[in-house]
Amino acid sequence: MSGIQTRRFLLIALAALVIAAWTGVLMRFGMVYGFPFWAQNFGAIRHAHSHLMYFGWVTLGLMALIWHRLPALTGRPLPRGVRWQMAATALMALLSFPAFWANGYGLTQIGPARLPLGAMVAAWNGLTWFVFIGFYARATRGLPVRPVPVQLWDWALFLLLLASGGALGLMALVFTRTENPFLQQFFLHQFLDLFAVGWFSLALLGVLWSMVEEPPRRLPTFSLALLVTPTFLLGMSPGALSPLLFWVAALANAGAALLLAVHGVQLWRRRADLGPMLAPALAGLAGVVLVAGALLWPGVWEENAGGQMRVFYLHNLLLLWVSTALLGAIEVAFPGVGRRTLRWANAVWVIGVVAMVVALVGLALAPRVGMSQLPWLHGAAWASLFVAVAATAIWGLALVRHRVGAEKLSSQVLPVGAKAVH
Ligand code: HEM
């Protein structure tokens, strides 16, 4: 894909971030002041928010950056049809928002039929990912040497396939109307958690390493994927998981965290190649590592697996680590005018994200120390406003830069071997 095409898909990914972030703001302020009459189904809105973030923001953004950087690493052109795959992925991701907003994974009456719109659109999204995986396999088949980013993407896509198995399981439960709480949880977390911790983390690390001038020759890739696999079990509710399965998942999680820390330290050493968003993103990664260590302490997981602590953990992982690092990588693809505005927007993003994550910890801990949750709810709501405003400004600036820069700037997109791509 050319630089211009990449930037078009990145603009769509940023637009998804903006819409999903404002939906998050709606939920956060709704929790304090009540929800408007047109937003009464909280569960469905939460699904619309999380699926647009997953499918439209992170997945589309990662795929666009992978396609953009791959030819420089393989020395081969991309397969024909990549543009159509990306267009289909973008369209399906955007459709997930209204589909889930209606009724989440439940049934929606359309004329005489009751349709599981969310499950249907999730299935169509999954099909476009399989096409991505097929093209990727063709583009990288038989490479004599697989550079570190390619190895990370190989395993990221393997984990994406495993996670999609969870989505298929969820759909099977909906279509067969099976009420099995264990399977419902198992499939939900196989999908959502493996998708986030597996596909997002490994693919993002691959993108970051592809931006570095001299990456180390050896870094954990297969071992990281292997250890990450069982960690989705920790998303299930404690009552549903046997002690043996818990310890398998918790030890694997601690091992995966150590390997993530190895990547984090090595990336930090090469921060000059990676832009200013790397430092706050790595703070989020450090949070993930610390939580993995804390879960080995007896009773910590049982007490914190659900509720507000999970919301904190998810947003530390997905907002502070994944989204901040992805935003930094995307900004490199839009060089040009408005550097000062971008610096301000980045600062507002970081302040908002850090304040929101801190408020979410406070929200989780407040009842345990006999404190009211209200100040923390206010804090999370106002912090979320900062995040949404910053995301909107960054999207607007990217749009301006895309229009102003057009062809002239496309050769500056990649720091490493950029010209080979075009
Ligand atoms: C502007 C930043 C964001 C705000 C204001 C926000 C807000 C929220 C809120 C209010 C909830 C519901 C919490 C509850 O049930 O108590 C939520 C859940 C969630 N969010 Fe976010 N969020 C943001 C960013 C993100 C990002 C970047 C991602 C992923 C890339 C994400 C993924 C999720 C997930 C997976 C859930 C749980 C969904 C579920 O359990 O169904 N959020 N978010």
Name which residue sits closest to atom 6 of ligand 1, judged by CA: 24
CA 48 to chain centre: 14
State the pLDDT at residue 167: 81
Q: Which long-range contacts (CB under 8 A, 24 or more apart) does 246-255 make?
A: 246/301, 250/295, 250/296, 250/301, 251/296, 252/227, 252/228, 253/227, 253/292, 253/295, 254/292, 254/293, 254/295, 254/296, 255/223, 255/227
Residues with C-beta less than 6 Å from any ligand 1 atom = 21, 24-25, 27-28, 46-47, 49-50, 53-54, 57-58, 311, 314-315, 318-319, 323, 384, 387-388
- For ligand 1, what atom is nearest to the CA of residue 27? 10
* Single-letter residue type at 21: A
Exposure string of 292-322, with b = 16+ CB inside 10 Å and e = fewer, is: beebeeeeebeebbeebbbebbbbbbbbbbb
pLDDT tens per residue, range 371-416: 999 999 999 999 999 999 999 999 999 998 888 765 554 444 444 4
Residue 420 has pLDDT above 60, yes or no: no
The pLDDT, as a whole number, for residue 413 is: 47
| CA dist 421 → 52, 148, 283, 301, 336 (Å) | 29, 18, 32, 46, 20
Helices (H), 219-277: 222-228, 243-269
Neighbours of 371 (CB within 10 A): 12
Per-residue pLDDT, 421: 33
Across 60-136, where does the E strand assignment appear?
A: 108-110, 113-115
Predicted local confidence at residue 116, as pLDDT:
86
pLDDT on residue 404: 78
Ligand 1 center to 387 CA (angstroms): 12
Q: Which atom of ligand 1 is nearest to the CA of 307?
A: 16
Q: How many CB atoms lie within 10 A of CB 404?
A: 12
Given a cut of 50, whether residue 417 has pLDDT beyond it is no
* Class of residue 289 by CB neighbours under 10 A (exposed 0-12, middle 13-18, buried 19+): middle
- Output helix, strand, coil percentages for the chain, rounded to the nearest 5: 80, 0, 20
Whole-number pLDDT of residue 248: 96
% residues pLDDT > 70 (the chain): 96
Residue nearest to atom 20 of ligand 1 (CA): 50
Q: Over the stretch 3-47, which tens digit does the pLDDT of each residue have?
A: 788 999 999 999 999 999 999 999 999 999 999 999 999 999 999
Give the whole-number percent of the chain exceeding pLDDT 90: 76
CATH level 2 (architecture), domain 3-421: Up-down Bundle (1.20)
* pLDDT tens, position by position, 222-278: 999 999 999 999 999 888 888 999 999 999 999 999 999 999 999 999 999 999 999
Q: What is the pLDDT of residue 402?
A: 86
- Helices 324-332 and 3-33 sit at what angle, rounded to 10 degrees? 150
What integer pLDDT is reported at residue 32 of this predicted model? 97
**Helix axis angle, 243-269 relative to 201-210, nearest 10°?**
10
What's the rounded mean pLDDT across residues 108-130? 90
Q: What's the average model confidence in pLDDT over 98-120?
A: 89
Q: At residue 419, does pLDDT exceed 70? A: no
* Atom 43, ligand 1: residue with shortest CA distance: 24
Task: Tell me what pLDDT residue 406 has.
Answer: 58
Distance 404 CA to ligand 1 centre (A): 33
Beta bridge partners of 109: 114
Residues of 200-218 as b/e, b for ≥16 C-beta within 10 angstroms? bbbbbbbbbbbbbeebeee
| Token duo for residue 324 | 């901040």
Instruction: Check pLDDT > 90 for residue 185.
Output: no
Quote the crossing angle between the two packed helices 324-332 and 339-365, to the nearest 10°.
170
